[in-house]
Amino acid sequence: MPKKIINKVVEKKASRKPRNFTRLRGMKDILFEEHKYWDLVERKTRDLARIYGFNRISTPILEKLDMYERSTGKETDIVSKEMYSFVDKSGDKVALRPEATPGLVRAYIEHGMFNHPQPVKMFWFGPCFRHDKPQSGRYRQFTQFDLEMYGEEGPVADSQLILIAYNFFSELQINVQVQINSIGCRDCRVAYIKKLTEFYKERGKRSRLCNDCKKRFLKNPLRLLDCKEETCREIREDAPQIVDFLCDSCREHFIKVLEYLDDLEVPYALNPFLVRGLDYYNRTVFEVVALDEEKSFENKTEEVVEASVESEVEVSEEEVEENEPGNVSGRKLLSLGGGGRYDGLVEYMGGRPTPACGFGIGIERVIMKIKEKNIPLKAEDENILFLAQLGDQAKRKIFALFEEMRRSGYHVRQAFTKNSLKAQLEEANRLNAKYCLILGQKELMDETILIRDMESGTQEVVDFKKIYTEIDKRLKNN
Ligand code: HAM
């Protein structure tokens, strides 16, 4: 047989062989049990957004690549190293969104929202993509909850956003620390960057920097401050602090933000080295980091906890899966959320000058923390009534009863595909049912139904017509 044909036959055979498909690295499936946590957290985001007057907005997952280059910043790690970008079939350069803010600014401009009453307050929830090294709590697809406020330059906006972020975590019983800094405006940064570069040029500090920081020194010296490398952090210790270089109006703004936070009793820690890894920020920047149990907010501190944000130990993909939930010890300061002011971005992206600020919170990390603490979820499955049947006739009758009870608002469950009573009771147990209503041949003939208390195992026969009174009586007594 000619070689070409042999190859074709081999290929065909190979394609018929069963294959195992697994999910991509750094991406996760959210299975049934975990969705309970997602429901809880999503509910909290929606409630807070509603209470504080933020309206929900959604944007496409795919956007133009140059939009991120211009906003997040071409030199940032997110854009230069982590973006999922490609040329689509029409030849457009596009990217899966690595963060929500640029798309929201685009939407604000594109839909003429400067004509709406200001501030425009947006609530956003959705997946983001960053091709980073997967670690425990770091995924390539992850979900963010964002709140953004456009058209308000007063410090009250910054403080309110920080307050909401803080409330979000404390109401979910997660111990956090809010770290805060001001990186000033373009004007005050000029003098600071000059001083900072002079500092790094002194006594061979520059040559000791990591390779990334050597590049940062030339392209974006401010980012030398948030490097995670040990040596770079050591050098940074004596670096000049930007708060000492703030112009009068930036200093006043920052002081006001802190005063509001004090009034609102939101604990925070000043972190003079917090600059955040995105290009668009000015003035207030903040990050919410997870604290270990023993470091609760009882001791309000203005000191920075001595460790870098996200100083996790790198783990393999398998470990990432195994580590969830629980074994994430040693990672005291995992960043759960971050944000700040970005007054120049709307104009820089083609809109009218519009002050803005916001934050983003990583939902997977929040859920990881809730699981770690073993916080019992509020039972959504209270007062479950399980409807069981034996035989065809009973099945038909209980089918109708199920629909009737469901419409009347009872928490009914069933397993009509199972015929054996034992299997149905097992299912009722699994669902944590309070009572099981059992209809068999005998009950059908007598026009009765059996009510079984699933906890005690006691059973009572009641008149089928009185089923609602009997059930209500029992539920009321509990
Ligand atoms: P960010 O700090 O890049 O800020 O991300 C916000 C949060 O998203 C992080 O604190 C973290 O919880 C979560 N996150 C980021 N990357 C990952 C990842 N690979 N896996 C899991 N979670 C992750 C922003 O994205 C800004 N857009 C926030 C903002 C909104 N600033 C103003 N408005």
Between CA 245 and CA 251 the distance in angstroms is 9
Q: Which two tokens stand for residue 106?
A: 């685009």
**Residue nearest (by alpha carbon) to ligand 1 atom 18:** 138
Q: Model-level pTM greater than 0.95? A: no
Least confident of 14-18, 106-110, 292-296: 292-296
Q: Specify the pLDDT at position 369.
A: 94
- Could you report the per-residue pLDDT of 336-360, keeping only the tens digit for each? 999 999 999 999 999 999 999 999 9
* Amino acid occupying residue 316: S
Q: Please give the number of the atom of ligand 1 that sits closest to the Cα of 99.
A: 25
- Could you report the per-residue pLDDT of 393-414, keeping only the tens digit for each? 999 899 889 999 999 999 999 9
pLDDT confidence bin for 1, thresholds 50/70/90: low
State the distance from the centre of ligand 1 to the C-alpha of 219, rounded, in angstroms: 23
Q: Ligand 1: residues within 6 Å at CB?
A: 99-101, 130, 132, 138-139, 142, 144, 146, 148, 335-340, 358-362, 364-365
Between CA 396 and CA 410 the distance in angstroms is 19
- Could you report the per-residue pLDDT of 27-51, keeping only the tens digit for each? 999 999 899 999 999 999 999 999 9
State the distance from the centre of ligand 1 to the C-alpha of 99, rounded, in angstroms: 7
Q: Specify the pLDDT at position 267.
A: 95
Q: Please give the number of the atom of ligand 1 that sits closest to the Cα of 148.
A: 33
Q: Specify the pLDDT at position 204.
A: 82
Closest CA to 227 of 245, 246, 207, 213: 213
Q: 145 with 45: CB under 8 angstroms?
A: yes
**Residue nearest (by alpha carbon) to ligand 1 atom 22:** 362
Q: Which two tokens stand for residue 52?
A: 């504080």
State the distance from the centre of ligand 1 to the C-alpha of 287, rounded, in angstroms: 10
Q: 346 with 280: CB under 8 angstroms?
A: no
**3-state SS class at 406:** helix
Between CA 453 and CA 433 the distance in angstroms is 9
State the distance from the centre of ligand 1 to the C-alpha of 107, rounded, in angstroms: 19
State the distance from the centre of ligand 1 to the C-alpha of 221, rounded, in angstroms: 22
**Residue nearest (by alpha carbon) to ligand 1 atom 10:** 337
**Residue nearest (by alpha carbon) to ligand 1 atom 21:** 138
Could you identify the residue written with the tokens 């309110």? Answer: 160
